[in-house]
């Protein structure tokens, strides 16, 4: 009997854990027969999540796209005929040339996100292709921009304690992160800390499965985190729990901060957060005295209009109390800042020549696809107060060609009806690279089958730990599917582009990419090393104390007061800015905040948040029956106090409605949600939902205060029982 082979790889999904895996392949059939977490990876520790445990099932799923397809029915109907790759490339390149001739290359726009986070199958050949074309550039803001900006204004770089080092913390604050669902490989380290006596406190509007497993749940109103952080600073400074040496040596602007937070008392924060003042005092004391405390924030709390400032306020906390000095101390939003990967060989901005195409913001896809110049102007990327959107006359050509890969915008982008209206335009050429016929794929003129992580090469840079990893293909491509890299390579050649990058194969691109790295944190990271071990830790000191010896800011200090923020048009100090749903009148200069609700606000409406479902990864896996069954149906969590007056019982069909329209969901009446707040786990496929829409029908194209990010969790909706 022939022995099986074991191929090492890494999960491509948009998840902080970036697990290393091993795939068992039967050489006789060439089929993958088993997948498991890599036993030697210090974060994966031999375990994959419940979703990726079924990655083989997804790869060999009967619904996988296996041949290129061309639309035959109406836009959105999802009816296609099979064509050959040759025909697909010939027709697509002809149509792109036609668009360029009539409207210029900016009329072509990419749309992509993190279906795979691989450096190669992500943007590896896509960016060179679009740069060569001179296409519109895309600001990829849909996930983390507000938080990233807020964090880096304070520290200069976005990184934090390694997940392994959470084991050394004496207190853990899980602040807006459902660890057990979206970051499960952090949990074992949290448990280790707990065994040493560290309490685990979850700050979240919902009693999530993580909150249930923790020691304390502090319910908070959505978007109020910035106020809580300010009040904690107030207590820490008023009670002199400050690490004076750290503050003197490693921070800028303490005096201004101390003055600023004087009015932000726990009693003030109670009115905004819904957390009793004495509880805030207790939390601030626990936090200051822990030495160190580890804070884990994720992206949930920055999906509000003022999410950038919220993260900025939280990121200020550890410097005040000097927790960055200690192993496991500080705050982790993302680990990305530590990687210092030089991606210039993959981005190839040189292929732009002297062209400088516009940049459109992905979260305004509805506006971007509009034929109205005023709406297109709004879609321009202008992330800071000092940036200006152009006048309608300068918005540039309408988008006539859209190339979508690694994303499912018809389901994940805000303001779904606007996105659908754009995708339904008969004059728009839409090309979608996919594994499955998603909501977006239904609108494609050409639907091209892409390989999965089992079928192609890649390198993955994680954002939740410090191990770079190599993915080797375990099996041959399923059907006629091709890696994204190969699709862009062949399309480039069909377009007549003769640049070398479009001739180079995947392995040599990756080898050269690794060989070209020269930052000290990548010293010793070689192709051979990656081939042999599958993953390699960055060359960081052990233990890694991200900012113990200085911050990545121009003066090397933590910016309690940030001149750069002032220059960019922001308040240079931590401040309270209410989220949109609170409809609080702008804070006065005197910071005399009262929750003054304007007369126009509908008092019956409630804020709706829509965080990740446990069994899906965004919309990935949501087409598999197994996972849909586990999630039940598209639900909305309603507190009994909100359900009763509306006559809603558990299991009832309810309608959520706002100015964008209405969505039908099933009521899940439960005390695990803050009263007055609704929560709908996401992201369901719209076409697999009862009324053909998901909650993004209700979300808006508004941008966050920093980074031009989305405000998915910052809307109000009316709730009633379906008649």
Ligand X SMILES: Nc1nc2c(c(=O)[nH]1)N[C@H]1C(S)=C(S)[C@@H](COP(=O)(O)OP(=O)(O)OC[C@H]3O[C@@H](n4cnc5c(=O)[nH]c(N)nc54)[C@H](O)[C@@H]3O)O[C@H]1N2
What would the x/- binding string for ligand X be over residues 432 to 451, using CB under 6 A? -xxxx-x-----------x-
Torsion of CA 682, 688, 692, 698, to 10 degrees: 0
Residue pair 165/327 in contact (Cβ under 8 Å)? The answer is yes
**Binder among 486, 713, 717, 719 for ligand X (CB under 6 A):** 713
In terms of Cα–Cα distance, which of 154, 165, 79 is closest to 562? 154
Query: Cβ of residue 615: shortest distance to ligand SF4, in angstroms?
Result: 11
Task: Between 175 and 616, name the residue whose CB sits nearer to ligand SF4.
Answer: 616
Piece in contact with ligand SF4 (CB under 6 A), picked from 44-52, 135-143, 212-220, 622-630: 44-52
Cα→Cα distances 658→72, 321, 370, 649, 669, Å: 35, 43, 22, 22, 21
**Binder among 128, 222, 366, 396 for ligand X (CB under 6 A):** 222
| Binders in 14-43 for ligand SF4, by CB under 6 A | 15, 17-19
610 lies in the site for ligand X, by CB under 6 A = yes
Q: Spell out the residues 6+ positions from residue 394 whose beta carbon is closer than 8 angstroms to its own.
A: 377
Query: Cβ of residue 49: shortest distance to ligand SF4, in angstroms?
Result: 3
CA distance 343 to 459: 12
Task: Between 36 and 504, name the residue whose CB sits nearer to ligand SF4.
Answer: 36
**Which H helix or E strand runs over 243?**
none
Per DSSP, helices labelled H in 540-667 are: 563-568, 625-631, 640-643
- 8-state DSSP, 371: S
**Binder among 667, 695, 715, 717 for ligand X (CB under 6 A):** 695
Query: Cβ of residue 541: shortest distance to ligand X, in angstroms?
Result: 28
Measured in degrees and rounded to the nearest 5, phi and psi for residue 25 equal -120, 135
440 lies in the site for ligand SF4, by CB under 6 A = no
Tokens (6 digits) for 541: 């000191």
Query: Cβ of residue 718: shortest distance to ligand X, in angstroms?
Result: 18
Query: Cβ of residue 156: shortest distance to ligand SF4, in angstroms?
Result: 28
Number of residues binding to ligand X, judged by CB under 6 A = 60
**Binder among 339, 466, 616, 697 for ligand X (CB under 6 A):** 616
Bond preceding residue 292 cis, omega within 30 of 0: yes
- 8-state DSSP, 650: T
Query: Cβ of residue 13: shortest distance to ligand SF4, in angstroms?
Result: 4
Query: Cβ of residue 340: shortest distance to ligand SF4, in angstroms?
Result: 22
Residue pair 700/414 in contact (Cβ under 8 Å)? The answer is yes
184 binds, among Mo ion, ligand SF4, ligand X, none (CB under 5 to 8 A by kind): ligand SF4
544 lies in the site for ligand X, by CB under 6 A = no
Piece in contact with ligand SF4 (CB under 6 A), picked from 47-55, 348-356, 428-436, 445-453: 47-55
Q: Spell out the residues 6+ positions from residue 649 whose beta carbon is closer than 8 angstroms to its own.
A: 643, 667, 669
CA distance 497 to 27: 38
Piece in contact with ligand X (CB under 6 A), picked from 65-73, 203-211, 372-380, 626-634: 203-211
Query: Cβ of residue 416: shortest distance to ligand SF4, in angstroms?
Result: 25
Task: Between 15 and 377, name the residue whose CB sits nearer to ligand X.
Answer: 15
Task: Between 54 and 662, name the residue whose CB sits nearer to ligand SF4.
Answer: 54
Q: Spell out the residues 6+ positions from residue 101 whose beta carbon is closer than 8 angstroms to its own.
A: none
| Binders in 122-161 for ligand X, by CB under 6 A | 142-143
| Binders in 604-623 for ligand SF4, by CB under 6 A | 617
Query: Cβ of residue 286: shortest distance to ligand SF4, in angstroms?
Result: 30
Residue pair 247/233 in contact (Cβ under 8 Å)? The answer is no
In terms of Cα–Cα distance, which of 157, 393, 211, 303 is closest to 706? 303
- Write down the residue that tokens 């309270």 correspond to: 576
CA distance 69 to 90: 13
171 binds, among ligand SF4, Mo ion, ligand X, none (CB under 5 to 8 A by kind): none
Our measurement of the distance from residue 13's CA atom to the centroid of its chain's CA atoms, rounded to an integer in Å, reads: 11
Q: Which residue's CB atom is positioned nearest to Mo ion?
A: 143
- Write down the residue that tokens 């948009």 correspond to: 14
**Binder among 7, 8, 9, 13 for ligand SF4 (CB under 6 A):** 13
Tokens (6 digits) for 364: 């305004």
| Binders in 91-150 for Mo ion, by CB under 5 A | 143
CA distance 702 to 700: 6
Q: Spell out the residues 6+ positions from residue 578 whose beta carbon is closer than 8 angstroms to its own.
A: 223, 272, 306, 584, 587, 593
Query: Cβ of residue 307: shortest distance to ligand SF4, in angstroms?
Result: 23
Site residues for ligand X per CB under 6 A: 14-15, 113-116, 121, 142-143, 175-178, 181-183, 203-206, 208, 220, 222-223, 225, 298-301, 304, 405-408, 412, 433-436, 438, 450, 484, 609-614, 616-620, 682-683, 695-696, 699, 712-713
Site residues for Mo ion per CB under 5 A: 143
Site residues for ligand SF4 per CB under 6 A: 11, 13, 15, 17-19, 48-49, 51-52, 184, 617
């Amino acid at each position: 009997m022939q022995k099986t082979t074991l191929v090492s790889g890494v999960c491509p999904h948009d998840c902080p854990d970036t697990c290393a895996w091993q795939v068992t392949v039967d050489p006789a059939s060439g089929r993958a027969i088993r997948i498991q977490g890599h036993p030697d990876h210090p974060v994966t520790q031999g375990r994959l999540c419940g979703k990726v445990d079924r990655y083989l099932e997804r790869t060999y799923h009967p619904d996988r796209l296996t041949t290129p397809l061309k639309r035959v029915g109406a836009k959105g109907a999802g009816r296609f005929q099979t064509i050959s790759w040759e025909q697909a490339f010939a027709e697509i390149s002809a149509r792109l040339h036609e668009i360029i001739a009539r409207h210029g290359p900016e009329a072509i726009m990419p749309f992509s996100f993190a279906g795979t986070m691989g450096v190669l199958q992500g943007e590896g050949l896509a960016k060179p292709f679009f740069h060569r074309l001179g296409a519109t550039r895309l600001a990829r803001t849909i996930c983390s921009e507000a938080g990233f900006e807020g964090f880096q204004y304070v520290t200069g770089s976005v990184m934090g304690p390694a997940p392994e080092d959470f084991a050394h913390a004496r207190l853990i604050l899980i602040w807006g992160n459902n660890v057990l669902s979206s970051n499960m490989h952090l949990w074992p380290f949290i448990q280790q800390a707990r065994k040493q006596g560290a309490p685990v406190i979850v700050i979240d509007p919902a009693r999530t499965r993580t909150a249930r497993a923790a020691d304390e749940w502090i319910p908070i109103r959505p978007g109020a985190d910035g106020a809580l952080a300010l009040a904690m600073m107030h207590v820490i400074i008023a009670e002199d729990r400050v690490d004076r040496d750290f503050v003197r040596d490693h921070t800028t602007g303490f005096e201004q901060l101390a003055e600023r937070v004087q009015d932000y008392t726990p009693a003030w924060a109670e009115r905004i957060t819904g957390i009793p003042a004495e509880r805030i005092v207790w939390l601030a004391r626990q936090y200051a005295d822990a030495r160190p405390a580890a804070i884990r924030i994720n992206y949930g709390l920055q999906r509000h209009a003022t999410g950038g400032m919220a993260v900025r306020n939280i990121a200020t906390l550890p410097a005040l109390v000097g927790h960055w000095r200690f192993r496991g101390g500080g705050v982790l939003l993302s680990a990305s800042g530590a990687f210092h990967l030089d991606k210039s060989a993959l981005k190839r901005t040189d292929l732009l020549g002297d062209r400088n195409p516009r940049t459109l913001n992905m979260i305004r896809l509805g506006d971007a696809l509009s034929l109205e110049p005023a709406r297109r102007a709004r879609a321009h990327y202008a992330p800071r107060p000092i940036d200006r959107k152009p006048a309608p006359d300068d918005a540039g050509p309408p988008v006539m060609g859209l190339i979508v890969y690694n994303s499912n915008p018809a389901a994940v982008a805000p303001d779904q009806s606007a996105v659908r209206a754009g995708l339904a335009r008969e004059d728009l050429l839409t090309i979608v690279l996919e594994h499955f016929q998603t909501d977006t794929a239904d609108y494609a003129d050409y639907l091209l089958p892409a390989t999965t992580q089992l079928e192609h090469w890649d390198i993955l840079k994680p954002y939740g730990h410090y191990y770079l990893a190599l993915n080797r293909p375990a099996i041959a491509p399923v059907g006629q599917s091709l890696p994204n890299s190969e699709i862009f390579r062949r399309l480039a050649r069909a377009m007549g582009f003769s640049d070398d990058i479009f001739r180079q194969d995947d392995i040599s691109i990756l080898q050269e990419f690794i060989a070209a790295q020269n930052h000290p944190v990548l010293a010793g990271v070689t192709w051979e090393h990656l081939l042999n071990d599958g993953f390699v830790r960055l060359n960081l000191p052990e233990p890694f104390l991200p900012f113990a010896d200085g911050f990545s800011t121009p003066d090397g200090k933590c910016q309690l007061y940030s001149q750069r923020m002032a220059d960019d048009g922001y308040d240079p100090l931590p401040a309270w800015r209410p989220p949109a749903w609170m409809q609080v009148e702008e804070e006065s200069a005197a910071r005399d905040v009262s929750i003054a609700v304007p007369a126009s606000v509908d008092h019956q409406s409630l804020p709706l948040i829509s965080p990740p479902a446990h069994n899906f990864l965004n919309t990935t896996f949501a087409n598999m029956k197994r996972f849909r069954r586990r999630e039940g149906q598209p639900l909305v969590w309603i507190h009994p106090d909100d359900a009763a007056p509306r006559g809603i019982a558990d299991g009832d069909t309810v309608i959520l409605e706002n100015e964008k329209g209405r969505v039908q969901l099933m009521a899940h009446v439960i005390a695990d949600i803050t009263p007055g707040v609704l929560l709908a786990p996401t992201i369901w496929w719209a076409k697999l939902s009862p009324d053909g829409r998901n909650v993004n029908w209700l979300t808006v194209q508004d941008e966050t205060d920093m980074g031009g990010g989305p405000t998915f969790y910052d809307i109000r909706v009316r709730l009633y029982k379906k008649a």
